Amino acid sequence: MPTLTLEPIEVEVPAESGVLNSPPAIYVLFFLSGFPALIYQIVWQRSLFSIYGVNIESVTMVVSAFMLGLGLGSLLGGFVSTAKRIPLLAIFGLVELGIGIFGLASLRLFHWVALFTAGVSPIRAGLISFVLVLIPTVLMGSTLPLLVAHLAQRSGNMGQSVAILYFVNTLGSAGACFLAAKATMPLLGQSGSVVVAAAMNMTVAGGALFLYFSSQRGEKRSQSLASNEIPDTAHTMADLLPLRLAVVLAGLAGVISLSYEIVWYRIYYFTSMGEAKSFAYLLGGYLVGIALGALLSRWLCGNASMRELPEFLRIISGFIIVANLIGFLVVPAVARAVQYVPYAYTIPLIAIAAGLLGAVFPLLCHISVKPDSKAGAGLSYLYLSNIIGSTLGSILVGFVLMNVLSLEKLSAVLAVAGVALGLAVLLVVERNSARRGGVLAAGVALGLLIVFSAGRLFAQAYERMMYHGEYRSALRFRQIVETNSGVIAVTQDKTVYGGGIYDGKFNVDPKHDTNRIVRAYALSSYHAAPKEVLMIGLSSGSWAQVYANHPQVEKFTIVEINPGYLELIPQYPEVASVLHNPKVNVVIDDGRRWLLRNPARKFDAIVSNSTYNWRANATNLLSVEFLQLIRAHLNPGGVFFYNTTGSDEVQITGATVFPYGLRMDDFLVLSDSPVQVDRERWRRVLMAYTIDGKPVFDAEQPGDMKTLNGILEYTNVVTEFRPDTMEYIATVRQRLQGKRLVTDDNMGTEWER
């Protein structure tokens, strides 16, 4: 069996082109340029999400803006590459320099634009994001066509030229994912990560310019090849696939590839309980697979025995079919594997599937683009099509299919569609009617196998991914709601899990307090007249039911990011009536984005029973910047009551931003006015509470009164930390002095778990 090797391409280089006579030097520079590109993408997307929201619409628009910029950059690079006598390394160096300069100014620019555009609609957010990242993404997207044009003309092998550059740059980007997860994001935050990325851009730019000017000063010059001359030793195709057909295939491959990535991100987010690192690990493994697939395709394109178009189409067909079968098996394989090993150990499964799909793009370039002066332009069309397909795939799956199909059905649909694409490519090759019949029969058999095996393979997949080593077949969820905003699971005892972690429980009875619902009842202990209340996050609806039935509350607004809870709540009697309460108005939106879009709205109390501080994007509801936004939405004497989930850093942040307040258990009550606890007022309100026409506390029941008196003990404010107590903010501030404040830039503890 032939071995997979990576040999430098020996070429003659035109003196006037200014390109160093050593392709490995170009490979090293292009490898290093992949690092800052991915760091920028992670940081910039995160920064834009904090401005425009993390709901599915905003996220899709921001990501699409990045992809569109790269696509336009590819066209620009392809156009420039057709010009003659281009000083390639000099242009590449200037491109990297431009990216680095923009990178250094990027976060300040984003924040400045946010002052004028924060809170706009998702479509406008996408347009603004596109304008903000247009310059750097166009520059990033232009580099591949430029370098491919250079190498292809000199090696005479289009596939090898694309594959080696695709390999080194993607491998660099994969390294950046792991670097960001383990080092730059947790240690340096967003601004520090950008500085590191810009420094790498400057290094690459300096290296490229140095090599260019060094080659210009060299004494020995090689004779230039004509722009359309191909070396005698080049491996060229006997026939070419029509470029239009190759463009279509590249686009469809992009659709499949990104569709699977979205599905895979859902399961890794769920099984990791929403760790910020899960996306970086997934993307890193995905890119490693793409890089290795490109390396495999380079070997195939350099195989002297392979010169016929049908041979390559059969290989492409096989890669697509096998990749889709593996992609289909990723979910059940991960669900079973995490019962025994950490989820990060399953990333090689992603790399294998992505690698086979990653090999397709260089192979398509090899069989459809001639390695002449127009090689860069031809590549740019394929690259643009692949990017457009990737964007459409993410929109199709993220916006549409995840709202109507379960994980099992969605995986089956993608697998069947992918296998069908692979078989369609094979049908183009096979001219014999008997063989075509065999291909069709095999396709039908594979499709049926996928459909009928899905039920057994995906059985209790979410239960396995959530319980890990504690999974037992008896731990079957009572209900699962899947939307494009996330996965909600309800256990048999009515405990709600959002994204794989505890999110509440269906209970509004403080006498049987299984979910610490007493904290929701505490509003009148620290606020005299809460008439208008805002709650960020609906979850099980238990807290919402308590606030909606508060005797003093007249208007109650709820902002929830996942509409799946609206489907869930009506099915549980404890909370079903809350959605029909005339006081209640439910808005589906990102909480922070809604506040930015409604600057004039003021409230007596804002409540946020926020998720764990270490989860992805949790900082958006915990940072200094968010707390300052909250202050602008409080009426005089208004309070913000939110869950710190036991984090000292979150508590000191609140105690620093607001002058007054107190800690109740692991919640903080914050205000710009002095907060006074009133035991008797709280007693009166609790005695007046009714939910669905029934009193919460019955004065005729001794047990109810005993529970009530126990609850009122919360008002015994202490001067040191003790669970189930209240503590004034001045004591909290003194106790946690020196702890780090949570900011949008440092992202709190998100990357440290």
pLDDT of residue 16: 34
pLDDT of residue 230 exceeding 50: no
357 Cβ contact list (under 8 Å, min separation 6): 253, 256, 257, 260, 290, 293, 319, 320, 323
Q: One fold for both 1-220 and 235-469? A: yes
pLDDT of residue 451 exceeding 50: yes
The distance of Cα 302 from the centroid of its chain, to the nearest Å, equals 36
Q: How confident is the model at residue 98 (pLDDT cuts 50, 70, 90)?
A: very high
- Fold assignment, 235-469: Growth Hormone; Chain: A; (1.20.1250)
What ranges do the domains of the chain cover?
1-220, 235-469, 510-735
Region of 748 please: left (phi>0), alpha (psi -120 to 50) or beta. left
pLDDT of residue 17: 37
pLDDT of residue 226 exceeding 50: no
Q: Is-contact 33 172, C-beta < 8 A?
A: yes
pLDDT of residue 499 exceeding 60: yes
Q: Looking at residues 63-90, what average pLDDT do you find?
A: 81
Q: In what order do the strands lie in the sheet with 667-671?
A: 584-588, 555-560, 532-536, 603-608, 634-643, 667-671, 660-664, 726-728, 717-718
Among the ranges given (110-124, 197-211, 309-323), the one the predictor scored with the smallest mean pLDDT: 110-124
Q: What is the C-alpha separation between 62 and 264, in angstroms, rounded?
A: 20
Q: How confident is the model at residue 154 (pLDDT cuts 50, 70, 90)?
A: low
Q: Which of 611, 612, 617, 42 is nearest to 281 (CA)?
A: 42
Q: Looking at residues 378-398, what average pLDDT do you find?
A: 89
Q: What are phi and psi of 500, to 5 degrees?
A: 90, 10
Q: Looking at residues 648-659, what average pLDDT do you find?
A: 97
Among the ranges given (79-88, 400-409, 548-557), the one the predictor scored with the smallest mean pLDDT: 79-88
Q: Looking at residues 276-293, what average pLDDT do you find?
A: 93
Q: How confident is the model at residue 292 (pLDDT cuts 50, 70, 90)?
A: very high
Q: What is the C-alpha separation between 572 and 494, in angstroms, rounded?
A: 9
pLDDT of residue 3: 35
- Give the DSSP letter of residue 431: -
pLDDT of residue 238: 53
pLDDT of residue 153: 64
Q: How confident is the model at residue 164 (pLDDT cuts 50, 70, 90)?
A: confident
Q: What is the amino acid identity at position 377?
A: A
Q: Looking at residues 621-644, what average pLDDT do you find?
A: 97
546 Cβ contact list (under 8 Å, min separation 6): 508, 517, 520, 521, 691
561-616: pLDDT as tens digits: 999 999 999 999 999 999 999 999 999 999 999 999 999 999 999 999 988 999 99
What are 41's two structure tokens?
């993408």
510 Cβ contact list (under 8 Å, min separation 6): 517, 518, 521, 696, 707, 711
CB atoms within 10 A of CB 555: 14
pLDDT of residue 354 exceeding 50: yes
Strand, helix or coil for residue 556 = strand
Stated as kind and residue range, the H or E segment containing 486 is: strand 486-490
pLDDT of residue 66: 82
pLDDT of residue 146 exceeding 90: no
pLDDT of residue 217: 59
CATH of domain 1-220: 1.20.1250
Q: What is the amino acid identity at position 594?
A: W
pLDDT of residue 347: 94
Among the ranges given (47-56, 225-234, 588-597), the one the predictor scored with the smallest mean pLDDT: 225-234
pLDDT of residue 725: 79
pLDDT of residue 124: 79
What are 710's two structure tokens?
């126990």
701-725: pLDDT as tens digits: 999 999 999 999 888 887 777 777 7
pLDDT of residue 161: 80
Region of 61 please: left (phi>0), alpha (psi -120 to 50) or beta. alpha
pLDDT of residue 372 exceeding 90: no
pLDDT of residue 14 exceeding 70: no
pLDDT of residue 492 exceeding 50: yes
What are 517's two structure tokens?
């619902």
pLDDT of residue 218: 52
Q: How confident is the model at residue 53 (pLDDT cuts 50, 70, 90)?
A: confident
The distance of Cα 242 from the centroid of its chain, to the nearest Å, equals 36
Q: Looking at residues 3-9, what average pLDDT do you find?
A: 35
First to last CA, the chain: 44
pLDDT of residue 216: 67
Q: Is-contact 264 323, C-beta < 8 A?
A: no
The mean predicted confidence, pLDDT, of the chain is 88
Q: Which residue has the higher pLDDT, 455 or 10?
A: 455
The distance of Cα 40 from the centroid of its chain, to the nearest Å, equals 14
Q: Which of 388, 222, 223, 254 is nearest to 320 (CA)?
A: 254
Q: Looking at residues 420-433, what average pLDDT do you find?
A: 87
Q: What are phi and psi of 746, to 5 degrees?
A: -85, -15
Q: Is-contact 667 644, C-beta < 8 A?
A: yes
Q: For the whole model, what pTM was predicted?
A: 0.90
Would you state the CATH architecture of domain 510-735?
3-Layer(aba) Sandwich (3.40)
Q: What is the DSSP string of 229-256?
A: ---TT----SS---HHHHHHHHHHHHHH
